[in-house]
Chains A and B, each alone.
Chain A
Amino acid sequence: MTTNNRIVFENVSKFYGEVLGVNRVNLSVPSGVTSLVGPNGSGKTTLMNLMTGLARPTQGSISVLGLSVDDPEELFRRVGYCTQFDSFPKGVTGYEFVYQSLKLRGIATNDAHRLAKEAIDRVNLWEVAHRKVAGYSKGMRQRIRLAQSIAHHPTVLVLDEPLNGLDPMARAESIALFEALGKEGLHVIISSHVLHEVDKISDQVVLMSYGYVIAEGEIHGVRNEVKEHPMQILVRCSQPNLLASRLFSQDHVVEAKLNHDGQGVLVRTLDAGEFYLLLNRVVLEEDIALEAVAPADDDVNSLYQYLIGGGGKV
């Protein structure tokens, strides 16, 4: 496994005086969309600041696509970071804000103009691009910061609470944009409280609590590791009563509950593999028509509840 296309944390700790930021973090993040999930103060922003050099680790080392975070010249050609600081240089228009950041990168004037327009277009803000940022709504400010962070076509995009302040339409557009960027092969690291929305686009998840990474990996894999919580599977079929009675006789099935619309069974099982084999057998034997079989708690929100407690804010 090469580290040149991964973001790697090796035994990283960060303390702010005596206050713990993150502790003994070991991560290796591949390309695709990765969600950082955890309650306030769990260390998500610290982790993002560490991977962009805005904070220095007290201990351990970090590399982004094989680059040291101490080398901003190389690092920030490939990294874009949309922080959650809702602040801007005074007096700038949205366009100037994006354009100036491109000029700082040493990009030629014509290219900087082209890239600025392209990025602002991509976040659907061109119509107001020449207005002062100070007059923008919170959602517009969020989007212009997003435009600034993607304008130079980064390979790694770090987004700290990028959905904050966005209306439902803008959220949907942003999520579609993140998904598209992930599919283009970028590393997209997102921290968000809007779990059910990031869940749709995340390839990996990193769950954090009190400065520790408590689980990481592909969502389905992490869910399988959580043995103390039986897997929930919703089966929609023609004879839910019959199916429930047959399933319930098995040891690994902890609960089989009829769905409130009477068209399905919600099963909680300790062994998903055994359950699927059993389901095949019962369906054939009883001639039951299956409409759908889907895990009901194989998502970020459920993982959050099982491993951290509480629920994700919607």
Chain B
Amino acid sequence: MKQLESLRTFLREAPWHFWTTQLIAVMQIELKKNFLRRRSIWIYLVALAPVLLIGAHAIDSPMGRRCNIEEDTRILAGIFQLFYLRLGIFFGCMGLFTWLFRGEIVEKSLHYYFLAPVRRELLVVGKYLAGMMTAVFFFGLSIFLSFALMYGHFGPAGKAYVFSGPGLGQLMSYMGVTVLACVGYGSLFVALSLVIKNPILPGAAVLVWETFHPVFPSMLQKLSIMFYLRQLCPVPLQPEGLLALFTVIAEPVSPWLAVPGLLVLSTAILVFACMRIRKMEISYLAD
């Protein structure tokens, strides 16, 4: 009861306006870095690759002459689940979010943040939000373009599918899942970068975990980000052969549980990151 009261006092008296100003300053600095640095080029390329592929397909069969909407819908669903979620967004977030702090340590510039009157938790949140906006921009735009190209080349039939059929709803779902994937993987990789110096090995371990989580016990599956994301994909993939490992949903969960479940998991990881950064020291020599 006493703790609740002190929390209430803290929330009432906290300098929210000041923190917001600082948060915006952190995000402005980080967004500029994320979009303009040379390291981001490969994220641009990863995001662009499926667009180019689908663009080539659209040119190859104008007005849907050599394909049909149902088949292309399944292909798009496959590209989304197997490329975007498992590779593009995963590695994009890994590169982007692990570099938010590791990059500063490698470039020996993190102390400038630590020497400013900014709460370190606020620094984590600011960097995380900037990373998320960047990732959502890259991959959201990529998915939007892929979707537009995939249905655009069907002409009026494609237009009807999007605006009078299930197309627009599917696009919204893809966008939503993309945002949630960035939320989940972003928090995970920010936290990892504060714990481990080289993110490659733990990144590989996370990839294995995310890939093979369907074979784990039910409780452990809920600690996987992919577990929630798969439930929210608008077009299910057919469980065929080895791909069944990626496509089968052994334990379906309602979106009303999947979205809050993922948000709770991401928040818990971010809270851990905030606790971690409070104890962080600057010793670039050791890095």
Contacts and interface: CB of A to CB of B under 8 A. Distances in A.
Contact of B108 (A79, A85, A101): A85
A106 B109 contact: no
Interface footprint category on A: 20 to 34
B129 to A, nearest CB: 15
A87 interface: yes
Interface in A90-120: 90-91, 100-101, 103-106
A76 B114 CA distance: 9
Contact of A89 (B109, B115, B279): B109
A83 B115 CA distance: 10
Interface stretch (A53-61, A172-180, A199-207, A295-303): A53-61
Contacts of B37: 90-91
Nearest to A112: B25
A73 interface: yes
Majority SS at the chain B contact face = helix
B30 to A, nearest CB: 10
A72 interface: yes
Given A85-B108, A87-B107, A90-B107, A105 B283 contact: no
Contact of B114 (A54, A77, A105): A54
B196 interface: no
A49 B111 CA distance: 10
Interface stretch (B116-124, B181-189, B199-207): B116-124
Contact of B113 (A81, A91, A104): A104
A276 interface: no
B282 A101 contact: no
Given A55-B281, A72-B120, A90-B37, A106 B112 contact: no
B267 interface: no
Interface string B269-287: 0000000000101111010
B22 to A, nearest CB: 5
Interface string B31-44: 00100110000000
Contacts of B117: 72-77, 105-106
10 contacts: A55-B282, A55-B283, A73-B118, A76-B118, A85-B108, A85-B284, A100-B25, A100-B29, A105-B22, A105-B116
